[in-house]
Structure 1
Amino acid sequence: MTTLDLPSPRLEEWRWSDMAALRAAAEAEPRASAIAPADLFLDIEGPRLLFVDGMFEPAHSRPGRVQVGRIVPETAHPLGRQAEGEGWSLHLGREEAVTHIQVVHLGSGGENHVPARLVLEEDAVASVVETYAGAGWANRLTTILLGKGARLMRSVRLVQDEGFVSIRDEAEIGEAASLVSIFLGAGGMGSRIDGALTLTGKGGFAEMGGALLTRGTQKQEAAVTVRHENIEGTSRQLWRAVAADRSAASLAARVEVARGAQQTDGEQSLRGLLLQRSATVNLKPELEIFADDVKCAHGATVGELDKTAMFYLQSRGLEEARAKALLTRAFVADAFARIGEGDASPLVRPGDEPARVSVREAFVADADKWLEAAL
């Protein structure tokens, strides 16, 4: 294996990154996985793609309009440029729609790289659910181009048991187009979610956020920059972090408003919750504004569970662990509010009757599973 050229933590934008965990995951020996690929897909109709150790697996896939083939990345990002090879792409013409696309990434150890490219022309619509599971280093680059009025909804689940997941999103959002990307880091892996979103058209909308849940000595990180280059653009960055034990969760959110990008509306909301004082949450909101007619705001807070609320719940008969779980779930709930709007999937669990469960509720179930292990 070639020597990895990784970013240095001496660089400000990488100072919270756990490159040691990434390197260890990349060097881990592959081993057999007990995870059945079929269990990783939500039971919703739509295209399905399975990548095992970075290789497309047609036996468990039905790509539909999604194409699989070699993609050469065009990026200067130090991790994203390594994501070269077999990947997936979607190109929708004017007013075309493909929803409920599911992409599952299953790793067994070592490193794997998968690029993706999504191009939506005028008024096209797409929704994508991505799931990361297994082990190893999963490195991804997603390039997104949205034409006038196009809309893309992405929901990304990081439930990998161990290893590291690095995700780089680069998007150009045209006039009146909308991109919403929501992430949940609820596995045992380390992670870096990295975004560079540019609103190039008048009235564009960009939202990138989610929740990072860490325990043990785990480290997860999100670093997102949204750049407004045209008038009347709107952006939202809403992130929640929950850290237990000696783990660390880090959130860096930046908004750049170029000269002439008047009537920009940019909002950042970064909140962290410490389940133990030995844990760490790092928050870094940034605004760089060169226009004078804007509405930009940011907030960043870190705290512990409210003792008054804990007392109230326990005084009504709830055990401490249950009370903590309810308050923690409420803390992260707003990060999931935009996930899978309008999507529904019947999930069947052993011993349960079939139930209609939305994509959003599937993400909430992942968070609840994390809470059961952490509390």
Structure 2
Amino acid sequence: MASTLELPSPRLEEWRWADMQALRAAADAAPRDAGIKPADLFLDFDGPRLLFVDGVFEPAHSRPGPVKVARFAPETAHPLGELAEGEGWVLSLDAQAAVTGIQIVHLGTGGESHVPARITLAEDAVASVVETYAGAGWANRIAQITLARGARLMRSVRLLQADGFVSIRDEAEIGEAASLVSIFLGAGGMGSRIDGALTLTGKGAFAEMGGALLTSDKQRQEAAVSVRHEAIEGTSRQLWRAVAANRSVASLAARVEVARDAQQTDGEQSLRGLLLERGATVNLKPELEIFADDVKCAHGATVGELDQRALFYLQSRGVPEPRAKALLTRAFVADAVSRIGEEKVRAAFEADAEAWLENSLSHREREGARSPEASGKGEGA
């Protein structure tokens, strides 16, 4: 039962920003009709499709192709990931095989659901996966990824749940000259925890995990990613953007570990937060732990408001203030999703971010119209 869940304590440093109260409330939520047609959640392109409703595979709206559905329990020490056992999906590709356009849709109606995933790509295999989360409840997921020499995986994840909570745990081992790119977009009303542990085990491996978290009202979203370099000439990128409106909170923690033998490592972290109101909060925590001496590692972390000079420039050229703010915010977010290689997928992510931005700005305008100052009922009225 959800009420007996043993969840990580915020007293632990790595969980201090996690919203476990929202997770527990989502797990306890009664089921309700999400009012969403599953067909509307799939992007319009060919490829294997799988639909999970409340963690249960739905064959009527699926065409798995090479993706297998199986029950298994992931081997992990992660406190949320170890709960994600049961019916899940498995992708295993032989050497030089290629499957792109795989779509996995998770639709929740309330309560808790757990789905494990396993992706194993042999030498020089290629795959791309798009995951979409919609509805409500607590969606708890773990993906365990193994990439052999020269394998390439592009993973794009859309968090669009209207409410509830989504927790995602990624664990990956990336072999020689292999590449993993994972891009996330949190553009729904739910709380979230995106948790990653990526290990570069082979020479010349590449790993990227990043994206954008967009929060409003009293929402809280979080990403906590650790990348470990164990072999020479590895490259990693963590590029995250957070936009916080109203009294919401977005938190980004990015860690890079470079082992003693991982010479000529190139690691970069870029964490940036944008506050749309001063009551909002963005927490940033970049970390570097380096034991090798021939490395190129850099990190940057900044939080601020919209550039007033750029805003003034646009307004001086006849762009209305709401439109100018939208343009600057859109450019800020676009930086995070530009790494998605498939044009249709990237366009969908941009449309999701645009929809969030329009809703957020409309909400702010409505709130402003109801404020005492706007209605003439403030002091001195």
Shorter-chain TM range is over 0.9
1:359 aligns with 2:359: no
Match of 2:69 in 1: 68
**How far apart are residue 245 of structure 1 and its match?**
0.3
In the alignment, residue 250 of structure 1 is paired with which amino acid? S
Tell me the secondary structure at the aligned position of residue 216 of structure 1.
Answer: coil
Match of 1:59 in 2: 60
Match of 1:90 in 2: 91
Is the deviation greater in 249-258 or in 320-329? Answer: 320-329
Cα distance in 2, alignment partners of residues 232 and 315 from structure 1: 48
* Structure with more helix by fraction: 2
In the alignment, residue 284 of structure 1 is paired with which amino acid? K
Tell me the secondary structure at the aligned position of residue 42 of structure 1.
Answer: coil
**How far apart are residue 311 of structure 1 and its match?**
1.2
Match of 1:189 in 2: 190
**How far apart are residue 316 of structure 1 and its match?**
2.0
In the alignment, residue 163 of structure 1 is paired with which amino acid? G
Cα distance in 2, alignment partners of residues 77 and 313 from structure 1: 47
Where do 4+ consecutive residues of structure 1 move more than 4 Å?
none
Match of 1:330 in 2: 331
In the alignment, residue 355 of structure 2 is paired with which amino acid? K
Cα distance in 2, alignment partners of residues 100 and 17 from structure 1: 32
Alignment of 1:16-35 (within 5 A): 16-35=17-36
In the alignment, residue 111 of structure 2 is paired with which amino acid? G
In the alignment, residue 76 of structure 2 is paired with which amino acid? T
Cα distance in 2, alignment partners of residues 29 and 264 from structure 1: 49
Residue by residue over 1:121-167, the C-alpha shift from the partner in whole angstroms, topping out at 9 and shown as x without a partner, is: 00000000000000000000000000000000000000100000000
Match of 2:178 in 1: 177
Match of 2:370 in 1: none
In the alignment, residue 220 of structure 1 is paired with which amino acid? Q
1:244 aligns with 2:245: yes
Which of 355, 364, 367 in structure 2 is aligned with 1:369?
355
Alignment of 1:67-216 (within 5 A): 67-216=68-217
Cα distance in 2, alignment partners of residues 130 and 271 from structure 1: 24
Tell me the secondary structure at the aligned position of residue 259 of structure 1.
Answer: coil
Question: Identity over aligned residues, as a percent?
Answer: 80
Residue by residue over 1:250-290, the C-alpha shift from the partner in whole angstroms, topping out at 9 and shown as x without a partner, is: 00000000011000000000000000000000000000000
1:253 aligns with 2:254: yes
In the alignment, residue 348 of structure 2 is paired with which amino acid? A
1:307 aligns with 2:293: no
Cα distance in 2, alignment partners of residues 58 and 305 from structure 1: 46
In the alignment, residue 208 of structure 1 is paired with which amino acid? M
Match of 1:44 in 2: 45
TM-score of the pair, normalised by structure 2? 0.94
Cα distance in 2, alignment partners of residues 307 and 205 from structure 1: 37
Task: Provide the alpha-carbon RMSD of the alignment.
Answer: 0.6
Cα distance in 2, alignment partners of residues 43 and 332 from structure 1: 23
Residue by residue over 1:173-204, the C-alpha shift from the partner in whole angstroms, topping out at 9 and shown as x without a partner, is: 00000000000000000000000000001100
Tell me the secondary structure at the aligned position of residue 36 of structure 2.
Answer: coil
Cα distance in 1, alignment partners of residues 220 and 33 from structure 2: 25
**How far apart are residue 314 of structure 1 and its match?**
1.5
Cα distance in 1, alignment partners of residues 237 and 50 from structure 2: 29
1:316 aligns with 2:302: no
Cα distance in 2, alignment partners of residues 10 and 202 from structure 1: 38
Cα distance in 2, alignment partners of residues 333 and 161 from structure 1: 22
In the alignment, residue 147 of structure 1 is paired with which amino acid? A
Contiguous gaps of at least 5 residues in structure 2: 362-381
Residue by residue over 1:293-314, the C-alpha shift from the partner in whole angstroms, topping out at 9 and shown as x without a partner, is: 0000000000000111111112
In the alignment, residue 61 of structure 2 is paired with which amino acid? H
TM-score of the pair, normalised by structure 1? 0.95
Cα distance in 1, alignment partners of residues 169 and 21 from structure 2: 19
Residue by residue over 1:35-55, the C-alpha shift from the partner in whole angstroms, topping out at 9 and shown as x without a partner, is: 000000001100000000000
Computing the radius of gyration from Cα coordinates, the structure with the larger value is 2
Cα distance in 2, alignment partners of residues 185 and 279 from structure 1: 16
Tell me the secondary structure at the aligned position of residue 291 of structure 1.
Answer: coil
Tell me the secondary structure at the aligned position of residue 359 of structure 1.
Answer: helix
Cα distance in 2, alignment partners of residues 270 and 290 from structure 1: 23
